[in-house]
């Protein structure tokens, strides 16, 4: 049994800016950098609809440090900062991610999305924790200090369309994007901080794969690399991939802002030309979206 036809999901063009910058040890300095990058983006493109921030934008990406930067949601400094920034510029914000101190006293890697009035419209806790061991190259285990989220996140982005939200390693697992697309999403957002080992191998491949699999735009926003400062080295290369798997814009590894306009007709044409949304055979295989756990702000 095929799913419903979701050919037209984006109501109008969506103008986005991806803010790629490096976060250091000073939280206030990191938030000030967000403010400066946001102001620069809005000045250069006053008609922007959406700002996208990187993973772990208010702290170093370090399992030893997350406990020192975690905050409650709502009420924490970073949440209030992003809410005020959205209100000030009258722009929606996909707020990358930052360490959240949950009511259960566990720490989560959490992304908040705000509408133009500063209201939180989505909250996603990173579902898949980055625990890897590549002999001779790198070992990293987020589970040392972080707890995993337990919900897929699909929500309405203002009057544009439904969107899905994941964080970094979430992109390696196709199910979250499948759930979002089958619930009517036209865009997947992934704030992420791939490193210089996994980034060159997989960053673009995963973005293209999720875009083609689900005929959605995929938006990936990374921190910039900071070779001189040492510590975790992010891959960079923030990018937007269209539903045909074409990379529309891509940053390098330095601090940068990249802009892109997401257009409804690209989704419509991709889904009309190759109508996979109506051709799936759920009589043969299971629909992962049918029993997915919905988001809970």
pLDDT along the chain (297 residues), means of 10: 57 97 96 98 98 97 92 97 98 98 97 98 96 77 92 96 97 96 96 94 98 98 86 93 98 97 97 93 91 66
- Of 27, 33, 55, 221, catalytic: 55
Check if 70 is active-site. Answer: no
- Of 161, 168, 221, 260, catalytic: 168
Tokens, residue 148 = 């995993």
Angle separating helix axes 27-44 and 77-89, nearest 10 degrees: 10
Cβ pair 243, 223 in contact under 8 A: no
| pLDDT given for residue 7 in this prediction | 55
Tokens, residue 269 = 């044409």
Cβ pair 73, 79 in contact under 8 A: yes
Check if 168 is active-site. Answer: yes
Cα 246 to chain centroid, rounded: 18
> Which CATH fold topology does 14-273 show?
Nitrilase/N-carbamoyl-D-aminoacid amidohydrolase (3.60.110)
| pLDDT given for residue 2 in this prediction | 45
Give Cβ neighbours of residue 42 (< 8 Å, ≥ 6 apart). 48, 89, 91
Neighbours of 251 (CB within 10 A): 20
Q: Which residues of 47-67 are buried (b: 16+ CB within 10 A; e: fewer)?
A: ebbbbbbbbbbbbbbebebbe
| pLDDT given for residue 139 in this prediction | 76
CA–CA separation, 289 vs 162, rounded Å?
15
Check if 55 is active-site. Answer: yes
- Of 27, 33, 123, 126, catalytic: 126
Give pTM, 2 decimals.
Answer: 0.94
| pLDDT given for residue 296 in this prediction | 53
CA–CA separation, 119 vs 124, rounded Å?
15
């Amino acid at each position: 049994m095929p799913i419903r036809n979701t050919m037209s999901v984006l109501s109008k063009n969506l103008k986005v800016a991806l803010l790629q910058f490096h976060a250091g040890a000073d939280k206030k300095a990191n938030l000030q950098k967000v403010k400066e990058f946001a102001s620069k983006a809005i000045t250069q493109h006053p008609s922007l609809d959406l700002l996208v921030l990187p993973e772990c934008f208010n702290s170093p990406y370090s399992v030893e440090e997350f406990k020192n930067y975690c905050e409650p949601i709502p009420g924490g400094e970073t949440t209030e900062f992003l809410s005020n920034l959205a209100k000030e510029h009258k722009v929606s914000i996909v707020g990358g991610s930052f360490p959240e101190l949950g009511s259960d006293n566990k720490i989560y890697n959490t992304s908040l999305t705000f509408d133009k009035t500063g209201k939180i419209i989505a909250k996603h806790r990173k579902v898949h924790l980055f625990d890897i061991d590549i002999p001779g190259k790198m070992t990293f285990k987020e589970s040392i200090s972080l707890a995993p989220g337990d919900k897929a996140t699909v929500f309405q982005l203002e009057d544009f369309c439904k969107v899905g939200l994941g964080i970094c390693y979430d992109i390696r697992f196709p199910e979250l994007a499948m759930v979002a697309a089958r619930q009517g999403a036209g865009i997947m957002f992934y704030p992420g901080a791939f490193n210089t080992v996994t980034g060159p191998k997989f960053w673009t491949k995963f973005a293209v794969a999720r875009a083609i699999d689900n005929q959605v735009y995929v938006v990936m926003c990374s921190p910039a690399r900071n070779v001189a400062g040492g510590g975790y080295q992010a891959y960079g290369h923030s990018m937007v991939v269209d539903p045909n798997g074409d990379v529309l814009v891509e940053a390098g590894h330095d601090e940068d802002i990249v802009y892109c306009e997401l257009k409804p007709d690209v989704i419509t044409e991709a889904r009309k030309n190759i109508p996979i949304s109506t051709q799936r055979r759920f009589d043969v295989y299971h629909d992962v979206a049918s029993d997915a756990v919905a988001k809970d702000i």
